[in-house]
Amino acid sequence: MTHTRLDTTDIPAPEKTLKIEGNGKQALEQGRTRLLIAGSVFALAFCVIAARVIDVSVFERAEEPRLAEERGTLTHKTGRADIVDRNGMLLATTLNVPSLYADPKYVMEPAVSAAKLRTVLPELDHADLVAKFSDNKRFTWIKRNLTPRQQYAVNKLGIPGLYFQNESKRIYPQGRLTAHIVGRAGFDDVGLSGIEKSFDSMLRDGSDPLRLSIDVRIQHILREELQTQIDAFDGIGAAGIVMDVNTSEIVAMISLPDFDPNRRDKISDDAVFNRATLGVYEMGSTFKIFNTAMALDYGTTTMHNGYDASKPIRIARFTINDDHAKNRWLSVPEIFMYSSNIGSVKMAMDVGGERQKSFMKKLGFLDSSAIELPERGRPLSPNPWRPINTMTISFGHGIAVSPVQLANGVSSIVNGGVRHPATLLRRDTTEMLVGERVVSEKTSHAMRRLLRLVVEKGTGRNANAKGYLVGGKTGTAEKPGRGGGYQRKALLSSFVAAFPVNDPQYVVLAMVDEPKGNKSSYGYATGGWVAAPAVKRIVERAAPFLNVTPVDEEAPEIRRSLMVKIPETKGKKALASF
């Protein structure tokens, strides 16, 4: 049987096969397209997310939600300049600190949230917190200026609707030590008192630190010694000043009681009051420095003359006595050394009221001090200036000045006789200071010798710091009563000194308000017992920091420069009387 082979090469495929191949290819293409679209969408989404992350982390501030910024009350300038002492020690600076606020819309269960928050901030009032958390407002302050520890504790509570906003806070590293000088600034960085207020615009606009004249080391010594005397004599307050006599720069200034400017919620009115610049007082016998200098400079008396102090002076209903009466003729050095009121009155009357008033004006005692603080007291002086005023002013009653004015006046008398206004800013030592002459150099030198005489032999012996040649004057004044007259038991006890008095560099003033006598002072509360010992210790402790070295007080050249020859008093008669 014969078989024939069939050639199929040219026979077309069945129609069904072709159809299957076409559908598969189409499905494959559709799947590929869908994958491509999905991948593109995911890639685009990741790009958007990445762009947002970069925008938030790089181009925007990494802070809390913008809700706080939209309130318009949280944008604070943080460029307030630092304040430093003469050696660059930081007295005031600005830090960024967190403050806590709430968006009540997101606070759940206000009472529960308030209770939880008070576990870490117990000083907050529960009812007040509930009211704030229930408010319809979108923003309310809860507590400003938190510590890092407080911020961490609040965060840990996890209370919804609580947020933090960084604010600038003024910090005072020296605390109460410089409180009355530096002052303080408020929450909005506006100066409220002290240097902060006087130089508010400069501090807010400036970047360089404001350098003051004070030295925190001397400030610490002054404060410690004044506080010691308050405690020892049960005083109600004190004031003290250390001043450079040649520039009138204030190296230290203290008013007690004081306050901590970092604790804004615990500042009393009494503590805020600056006794050194705002308080004006009748400074008692320290004014005999000016009375004696005035008489010597006008030439109405000399160091060799004297006055009859054997009897009290009676004028109208007033009687002027000496506390430690010698009941005899006293030379000018003795009047000063024994602090004779009678002798001082007669010296002043020889000068006359008009010239006395003019002299007090030259010393700056009739106008407010020019010191760079808003807290400046205006002196109290008589108007009209009657003879009785001339008498009482000679021994420090009837005129009231601030302690800084007294220190400035003494500096003017002992530095050669030139007055420079007191300042809390460090002066440029390369510039020539031009001041106003108030007494001659001859008078200035005579007053130095008299001041040393008081410490060596007079009422100021307790201020004698060995080797530092302290010269000074005591002052004990009765404070005026509210209903007129004076309070015999309410004293203002002070001592003002210059050292080294042969070539004065610094004036030190210590004043204690209403001291009470004790066993160590034999019941006395006078300037010689209360303030003079403090000045002695201040000089001894501060002198090394001020580069004042001890000297041999018995050296012939020093003894000659400070020698005071007291005229023979036996049988002497008064050179002036009325």
Altogether, the residues listed in the chain come to a count of 578
Token pair listed for 254: 């203290």
Cα separation values, 433 from 195, 246, 416, 420, 533, Å: 23, 9, 14, 8, 33
SS3 187: coil
Token pair listed for 443: 């008078």
Q: How many CA atoms lie within 13 A of 9 on its CB side?
A: 2
State residue 400 phi and psi, 5-degree precision: -125, 130
Sign of CA pseudo-dihedral 254, 255, 260, 261:
negative
Nearest alpha-carbon partner for 472 in 507, 443, 437:
507
Measure the CA–CA gap between 359 and 417, rounded to whole angstroms. 12
As a whole number of Å, the CA-based R_g of the chain is: 40
Q: How far is CA 189 from the centre of its chain?
A: 17
Token pair listed for 561: 């420069």
Pairing outcome for strands 418-419 and 237-244: unpaired
**Of these residues, 168, 193, 255, 285, which one is catalytic?**
285
Measure the CA–CA gap between 319 and 338, rounded to whole angstroms. 19
Interacting residues of 568 by C-beta distance below 8 A, sequence separation 6+: none
SS3 499: strand
Q: What angle do CA 377, 381, 384 make, to 5 degrees?
A: 150
The answer to whether the CB of 237 falls within 8 A of the CB of 231 is no
Catalytic, 358? Answer no
Measure the CA–CA gap between 258 and 219, rounded to whole angstroms. 13
Q: What angle do CA 455, 292, 279 make, to 5 degrees?
A: 80
SS3 4: coil
Annotate 44-58 with DSSP letters as a single string: HHHHHHHHHHHIIII
Token pair listed for 492: 């203002």
In the chain the first and final C-alpha atoms are separated, in Å, by: 183
Nearest alpha-carbon partner for 493 in 174, 134, 238:
238
Burial class (CB in 10 A: 0-12, 13-18, 19+), 39: exposed
Backbone angle region of 102, left / alpha / beta, with phi > 0 → left and psi within -120 to 50 → alpha: beta
CB burial of 338-364 (b: ≥16 within 10 Å; e: otherwise) equals bbbbbbbbbbbbbbebebbbebbebbb
Burial class (CB in 10 A: 0-12, 13-18, 19+), 408: buried
Question: Which ranges in 377-423 belong to alpha helices (H)?
Answer: 387-393, 403-414
Annotate 534-562 with DSSP letters as a single string: HHHHHHHHHTTTTT-----TT-HHHHHHH
Nearest alpha-carbon partner for 94 in 32, 23, 186, 17:
186
Which residues are catalytically annotated?
A: 285
